[in-house]
Structure 1
């Protein structure tokens, strides 16, 4: 067929084709010759443009002692210095020689071929909270313009995140040379109290193979770096280790109080590709051995993770980015499939999911890092479990937040409790309350203590009021109330702060009886696990949980348990508490030390708390837990503080005396929002909460 095609071509057509080809070749040669002779001028123009940009946008003066071409495509720069205006020198390099690949350059891609750097110094200096590197964290006025140029999108709200991610990734990969020779790089950090030095005497990339050694603080530690770099195929592999020793980052500990070290860490960029020319897929792996973490916000002791592996796929679209459900986190025999999606347009939304395959229950607890959950050490389990979590938040309507958490079980049983001896609650035990991290006193929880009050001897008014305000579905839920969690997510997002935690009575009980008072992330996770164990195994009855709870919670300064509270405030036995007194005691559970501020000098309640009585009383009446009150006061005007506790009568009544110690109206609105959601859901489902009477 090819021969037949040649036979059809005439001699005239061959001549014309030859002329055209010759013109193209000659034009290319002429263009190359012109560019070659003008390349020095082009280099000078490029450097001047870079210097101008750094000065105008970042206030950095860039000086270059000498710049010239040392080969066809190799540029050499000597005595390069970058100095932020009015600050210490940021960087200095004696010599840089870099070559670019010719053919990608023709299409507009700048890809490094060979890089040679000798005697480079980078110093980060901070003096009196002002650093010579502050420009890195300052938003430039040209961000929007730069982004539009990068993505090709100019209309507001039309940012293509996939194109942006692809360009950013290319800008990083294409700057990795195939061959590199780095000699004597020194990186220093210095502020008013800390100084760190990292030196790299030698780092080489030879045909994509990376080898280097990094020294911390003049041989205080030596790290080995190796890897295989293939930026043309978008593939990278880097490994960092320290020849059997741990790699520590002392700067993090000194600046942030974060102790972080590991034996080996590996990262791999495995694959980058497009689907339907719309979604950019980035696949990679990360692995770490003997990771040690310690921070007072995380845990009080070292948390040690012997071995962990992450296999992740990130998918970027036009206006969304997600961590794919195909991603896997592996710790020992535990596998977790996380999913996170962020959508920027038309509304900002967040979606989170977490799924584990069915597994042996013991594998979950065996996978926990050493030092993570001290109270769960020694626990032995049997049976199968599988966990599923889903959450979705639309920031344009936070109250519509969705949340679902479920632990499926098959043949699940606790064979040995270990340190967390949950069944101890069923017998007499000693409870120790803490104040500011110090034990206050020991309280015997059981008949041996004359202040211990059995549940049956506590006024139904008090039991119903506490259930209504703290945990309306306590006798029917499994330790967690998804509606309360949804409400807390919505409130915390709207307030842009952690205002509400969604704790149930079960969670409050576990926090008080089993856990230390250190407010860490680990303690909250430990609390959730112990609640799940207690509720799912029915190791403690709901009645006993509620009985212990009412006998140990704080109700004032050094006032613990309902017996002490009812006598302290009203001089009564808990069985004698009225509806009004019960609603008052329920109101101070979240803030027990401020309880006395609610009272006036004559022992009556201040007026600002009356809406709380009306709201809670109406809910109790609708649920059949209290008689209806046409005045909607529900005992507010009958409450009288014990005379010995009443404040002195002021010389002159002022408005200030009627003001609450805290923002009570805001607290009432939070309670109202949560309870309205819970009870509206209960009404829709036609479910009646169990009456504890």
Structure 2
């Protein structure tokens, strides 16, 4: 059938048409041969021009001298460079290579893509040197001098940057990496060294090969003190990569991190895979990959006090890049033992800059969560045994142009959850007498018995209701109704910290402050806050301790000054009174110093009166308490401010020349702290004005 159609088509072509077609094809072939001949004879000159252009660009943009002894074509598409060196100006040489030959694939070159075919390199070296504060690699962290551009040009570049299609940019970046991976490679005698004033490290690769996409290599650290095996399968044409690193049953360690940053890090095996890259609707770029590690061991004082061990972890991730956003898809999964977590992160640049974060777990046995925690990460939770099922969900969203509109929601669903055996954090101990040890500068101060055996311990119902209600108002208005966390406080914390570009507010409840004081050490590690959250959740969700007892313990242990702990010591220290005798003004004052107890005495002048700057605080807190029926109304707005009098022995000496302005000057940042308190309380009482009162 096909042959018959072809014969019919040929029968319709005349002899004249065949001649014209032959002439056109001949002209095309002759033109192609002429173009190839010209390019072939001119290729050396083109190569020289290209090398010169590279040298000029590196010198002008990065102040780097590129020296090449010889550059020539050693094949139709193969370029060979000999005696190559890269040296930043006024620095030690950064890199050098005896000879390198690289071939470029012809057909991709026609479309403008440079893909390496085969790479051969011998005697290559990279040396990173830092002397004092000067290094030969600091150009990597320097921005190009924008002053060399004309204003209009700089403005145009900025406008262009803002209109970049992120998906296309990510695709180009990915291609620039994948296309530089050769199909075949022969690397011999490669050496990487690092040296500064006190540390020296050497990584040598005697041999590394890529043969038909199969990667094999051996890496030696510090003159064969450790040997790593690197293997994998590379198929950059299909955008697929797989690399595995191990040490033949030994640990793969990175001593440079320990010597440089105090970070001990080792693992048995680590694997990474680029599984798939594709477009949907010609608009969204999908990048799928995996990462896995076995017996990861981490030790750093900022992370945890003990070694943190992750026996087996796996990440299956999908990144989606669009025109103006990049996201970690909800289909991504983090697996540690039997724990599965589905994270979601999305960053959008236009029309508004926004951030979205979500976290979700499927319903699972509660014990699987605690079993998945790496050993050494949460010391207080080791040994805990639980039953029942749980499911967790978190969602947060922030608009950079309107941080105060931040959204946050966290929810832990429970089915038959129960603690069968408590770990190191024995929460029920709060129900009876126990010993509390406060710390100063991570050192224990003294042991305090929390219970009737201590004459300074006072039951909750014997503490002035003004004090109880003032502390609740300023620290945690919804303490007796929430489950350990106040989402409005967390939202306020996120908004404040984003606007300040620093960690200014933590959003802690009384439950969280109690756990931090009683159950956690004072080592400021990165995971301590998460450990605090977990213990609070356990304490609140199991009802192991009543709210009244929690508040009673809290008021008997928190700090109120230098070596002043508990409300009995505080009321006696400042006013020479029993806690039951505290007035409204004294209670509001004591509430004001809870966030910064060591500065409590700075609020008084030499006559023992409060300095004027605290008046605004008294008016604001007093009005809230009066509105909620926790204090009598005060039309003057003083709420006991002028009646507060510090014990005479604590008053500062009267200055020889009284500087009224100095005496009335507020302590640093108090106005800012008041505004933070105002922002949180206004939002809480606006959304929920009928908060539960203290008992």
With normalisation by structure 1, the TM-score equals 0.97
Measured after TM superposition, the shift of residue 621 of structure 1 is: 1.0
Residues 554-587 of structure 1: CA deviation (Å, up to 9, x unaligned): 0011111001101111111111100000000000
- The 2-side partners of 1:156 and 1:450 are apart by 69
1:81 and 2:74 aligned = no
1:673 and 2:679 aligned = yes
Relative distance call for 1:33 and 1:502 in structure 2 (3 A) is: same
Measured after TM superposition, the shift of residue 165 of structure 1 is: 0.5
1:190 and 2:212 aligned = no
Measured after TM superposition, the shift of residue 143 of structure 1 is: 12
- Aligned mate of 2:405, from 379, 400, 404: 400
1:661 and 2:663 aligned = no
Instruction: Report the equivalent of 2:694.
Output: 692
- The 2-side partners of 1:498 and 1:153 are apart by 30
Measured after TM superposition, the shift of residue 250 of structure 1 is: 1.3
- The 2-side partners of 1:181 and 1:270 are apart by 25
Instruction: Report the equivalent of 1:491.
Output: 496
Instruction: Report the equivalent of 2:506.
Output: 501
Measured after TM superposition, the shift of residue 7 of structure 1 is: 3.6
Measured after TM superposition, the shift of residue 8 of structure 1 is: 3.4
- Aligned mate of 1:140, from 135, 139, 144: 144
CA RMSD of aligned residues (A): 1.7
1:53 and 2:35 aligned = no
Instruction: Report the equivalent of 2:441.
Output: 436
- The 5 Å alignment of 1:173-184 reads 173-184=178-189
Instruction: Report the equivalent of 2:574.
Output: 569
Gaps of 5+ in 2: none
Q: Secondary structure at the match of 1:299?
A: coil
Q: Secondary structure at the match of 1:631?
A: coil
Residues 622-661 of structure 1: CA deviation (Å, up to 9, x unaligned): 1111111111111100000111111111111112233233
Q: Secondary structure at the match of 2:425?
A: coil
Residues 403-460 of structure 1: CA deviation (Å, up to 9, x unaligned): 1111011111111112221111011111111111111111111111111110110110
Relative distance call for 1:207 and 1:143 in structure 2 (3 A) is: farther
Q: Secondary structure at the match of 1:103?
A: helix
Instruction: Report the equivalent of 1:71.
Output: 75
1:20 and 2:24 aligned = yes
Measured after TM superposition, the shift of residue 5 of structure 1 is: 3.5
Residues 165-202 of structure 1: CA deviation (Å, up to 9, x unaligned): 00010000000000000001111111111111111111
Q: Secondary structure at the match of 1:509?
A: helix
- The 5 Å alignment of 1:449-488 reads 449-488=454-493
Instruction: Report the equivalent of 1:129.
Output: 133
Count of residues in Structure 1 that have an aligned counterpart in Structure 2: 686
Indicate conservation of the 8 Å contact 1:153/1:160, yes or no. Answer: no
Relative distance call for 1:555 and 1:142 in structure 2 (3 A) is: closer
- The 2-side partners of 1:609 and 1:457 are apart by 27
- The 2-side partners of 1:474 and 1:100 are apart by 69
Instruction: Report the equivalent of 1:38.
Output: 42
- The 2-side partners of 1:67 and 1:28 are apart by 27
1:554 and 2:559 aligned = yes
Residues 267-304 of structure 1: CA deviation (Å, up to 9, x unaligned): 00000000111110000000001111122221111110
Measured after TM superposition, the shift of residue 10 of structure 1 is: 3.3
- Aligned mate of 1:274, from 252, 273, 279: 279
- The 1-side partners of 2:282 and 2:6 are apart by 35
Indicate conservation of the 8 Å contact 1:399/1:487, yes or no. Answer: yes
1:391 and 2:396 aligned = yes
Measured after TM superposition, the shift of residue 525 of structure 1 is: 0.9
Relative distance call for 1:6 and 1:660 in structure 2 (3 A) is: same
- The 1-side partners of 2:414 and 2:148 are apart by 51
- The 1-side partners of 2:673 and 2:197 are apart by 43
Relative distance call for 1:115 and 1:144 in structure 2 (3 A) is: farther
Q: Secondary structure at the match of 2:636?
A: coil
Measured after TM superposition, the shift of residue 13 of structure 1 is: 2.8
- The 2-side partners of 1:430 and 1:476 are apart by 28
Relative distance call for 1:144 and 1:582 in structure 2 (3 A) is: farther
- The 5 Å alignment of 1:572-651 reads 572-651=577-656
Measured after TM superposition, the shift of residue 2 of structure 1 is: 4.3
Relative distance call for 1:679 and 1:3 in structure 2 (3 A) is: farther
- The 5 Å alignment of 1:306-321 reads 306-321=311-326
- The 1-side partners of 2:683 and 2:11 are apart by 84
Gaps of 5+ in 1: none
Indicate conservation of the 8 Å contact 1:484/1:502, yes or no. Answer: yes
- The 1-side partners of 2:451 and 2:258 are apart by 46
- The 1-side partners of 2:71 and 2:266 are apart by 42
Residues 302-323 of structure 1: CA deviation (Å, up to 9, x unaligned): 1100000000000001111000
With normalisation by structure 2, the TM-score equals 0.97
Measured after TM superposition, the shift of residue 346 of structure 1 is: 2.3
- The 2-side partners of 1:177 and 1:248 are apart by 28
Instruction: Report the equivalent of 1:168.
Output: 173
- The 1-side partners of 2:421 and 2:441 are apart by 33
- The 5 Å alignment of 1:227-266 reads 227-266=232-271
- The 2-side partners of 1:596 and 1:2 are apart by 103
Greater Cα shift, 264-273 or 409-418: 409-418
